[in-house]
Structure 1
Amino acid sequence: MIMGKTKILYVEDEPNLGQIVYDSLLLKGFETIWEKDGAKVMSKFHGYSPDICVLDIMLPNVDGYQLCEHIRSKYPNLPIIFLTAKTETPDLVKGFEAGGTDYMRKPFSIEELVIRINNQIKIHGSNKSGVNKTIEREELQEIKIGTYTYTPNRYELVTPTKTINLSNREGELLKQLTEMGSKVVERKDILLQVWGDDSFFNSRNLDVYIKKLRNYFSEDENIEIQTLRGRGYLFLVK
């Protein structure tokens, strides 16, 4: 079956940079919509259904962090790349906490952006018709984790009080932690399996995701993600 082009929703208010990136993405074969105003982005999802979002942080009316949180609440598995001139580590961490899945500092090369877009699509999949619908035909496996129930095929975590839709990367991280039982999961192994490399950038990203999982499991005091400094993690169900 012939698949369509990867669909990108690109958000950048600086006109010169935006035009360059927009034209370059089209030349590289991507289907792309370019929006300059953060407040108008959500309306673009109607009838377009992008495979990935590429967001600037400093946007008029609604900044990239707020926009990312809004997108993530409605589309939990959609990859989101931040493009920003902000270079401080707290800004990077804030981006991942908002729901970003990758982060590029300005200035950047189009070649690197294309590589990162393709990598995110490879990790998270796409919204192409039929690609994600096959899950409905698959046998759904439920895993009991204390008082929680996790369905890996749906990335669905049912807590005692609510249902949480995990992102693809959250699901892959949880898989790495739970498959080892009571054995130590090496930090480097997680980074290589889930992120593809063990760079400092991805290492900080892992810290954010571990914090998210701990928060998700906070309703059951018998579930603990224990950090072994300098080594990795233990996922314990007492």
Structure 2
Amino acid sequence: MAETVIKILLAEDDPNFGIVLRDYLELHDYEVTLCVDGCKGLTAFRKGTYDLCILDVMMPEKDGFTLARDIKKLNPNVPLIFLTAKTLKEDMLEGFKIGADDYITKPFDSEVLLCKIRAILNRKAGAGTAKQEQSEFVVGQYVFQPKLRLLIRKGQEQKLSPKEADLLRMLCQHLNDVLPREEALHQIWHEDSYFTARSMDVYIAKLRKFLKEDSTVEIINIHGQGYRLCVHNGALL
């Protein structure tokens, strides 16, 4: 049986760099669609099915951040890697807020990019073959269903992103105990770095917002260690 071809959408406005990167990825058996601006990238994404998107941040017509937001509206689960010539922390944090899986600053080692792509795709594949886990957690007034990525309170459903669901699942598994920061970073992001740590902080903030309607539930920052999900006078099954 033939192996499934991995399809990558590459949006890069530098034609020379884009062609070189496309050819390099195709040499490693990826099928790559190269688009020279964000608008063409969105058109291509609407027409095709992609396993991963690599987006340059600075592009004409539509920048990479705007393109990423549009793509996430169409498919919130597709992995994203941003490419940029800028090293501003604010830009990197913005990328992670949108839902980036990684952020690579130009110039970069093409083998490093290849390793990151493989890690992201392996993580995505692993999510579909993960061992059997607890199907439902009760956290105060909330019911959390990890497999469906649903957080339910009084009949109201909140759909979580894959990383939000993974992080909340790990917090539930460590209820009233500390979830070590390094453990979450390695299991969910597969890397413990400044930027992945900042990304995790963003996701913690999102979970706090989702859980704010129940005053008995809180996520506490344990300085230098990690986070703790606490349920006061509540229960978790």
Alpha-carbon distance change, 221 to 43 in structure 1, aligned in 2, over 3 angstroms: farther
Number of residue equivalences: 231
2:135 maps to a residue whose letter is Q
The reply to whether residue 202 of structure 1 matches residue 196 of structure 2 is yes
- 1:166-198 alpha-carbon deviations (Å, 9 max, x no partner): 232222211111101111111122222222232
Q: Is the contact made by 1:160 and 1:219 (CA closer than 8 Å) also made in structure 2?
A: no
Secondary structure in structure 2 of the residue aligned to 1:120: helix
Q: Distance in 1 between matches of 2:66 and 2:158?
A: 20
Matched with 2:82 is: 82
| Secondary structure of residue in 1 paired with 2:185 | helix
Partner of 1:78: helix, strand, or coil?
A: coil
Deviation, structure 1 residue 162:
4.9
Distance 1:73 1:144, change over 3 A: farther
Whether 2:114 is the aligned partner of 1:114: answer yes
Counterpart position of 1:212: 206
Name the SS of the counterpart of 1:153 in structure 2.
coil
TM-score, with length taken from structure 1 = 0.87
Return the match for 2:217 from 202, 220, 223: 223
Q: Report SS of the residue matched to 2:147.
A: helix
Say if 2:58 and 2:64, in contact at 8 Å, map to a contact too: yes
Q: Distance in 2 between matches of 1:211 and 1:157?
A: 15
Shift of 1:160: 4.9
Aligned to 2:235: none
Change (3 A) 1:234 1:186: same
Contact 1:85 1:105 survives alignment (8 Å)? yes
* Cα shift at 1:122: 1.2
**Are the aligned partners of 2:93 and 2:195 in contact in 1 as well (CA < 8 Å)?**
no
Are the counterparts in 2 of residues 140 and 153 from structure 1 also a CA contact under 8 Å?
no
Distance 2:70 2:152 in 1: 22
Pairing 1:124–2:124 present: yes
| AA partner of residue 66 (structure 2) | Q
User: How far is 1:125 from its partner?
Assistant: 2.9
The answer for the alignment partner of 2:92 in structure 1 is 92
In structure 1, runs of 5+ residues without a counterpart are none
Normalization by structure 2: what TM-score?
0.87
- Partner amino acid, structure 2, of 1:56: D
* Counterpart pick for 1:154 among 148, 156, 179: 148
Per-residue deviation at 1:97?
0.6
CA drift at 1:161: 7.4
- Give the partner amino acid of 1:111: E
> Taking structure 1 as reference, are residues 91 and 160 closer, same or farther at Cα in structure 2, changes over 3 Å only?
farther
After alignment, is 33-42 or 5-14 more displaced? 33-42
Structure 1 residue ranges (4+ consecutive) displaced by more than 4 angstroms after TM superposition: 159-162
Per-residue CA shift, 1:136-188, capped at 9, x if unaligned? xx999333223332221122233557533323222221111110111111112
Deviation at 1:27, TM superposition (A): 1.1
- The alpha-carbon distance between structure 1 residues 186 and 92, as it changes in their structure 2 partners (threshold 3 A), is same
> In 2, are the aligned partners of 1:77 and 1:167 still within 8 Å (CA)?
yes
**Greater displacement, 13-22 / 71-80:** 71-80
Structure 2 unmatched runs, 5+: 233-237
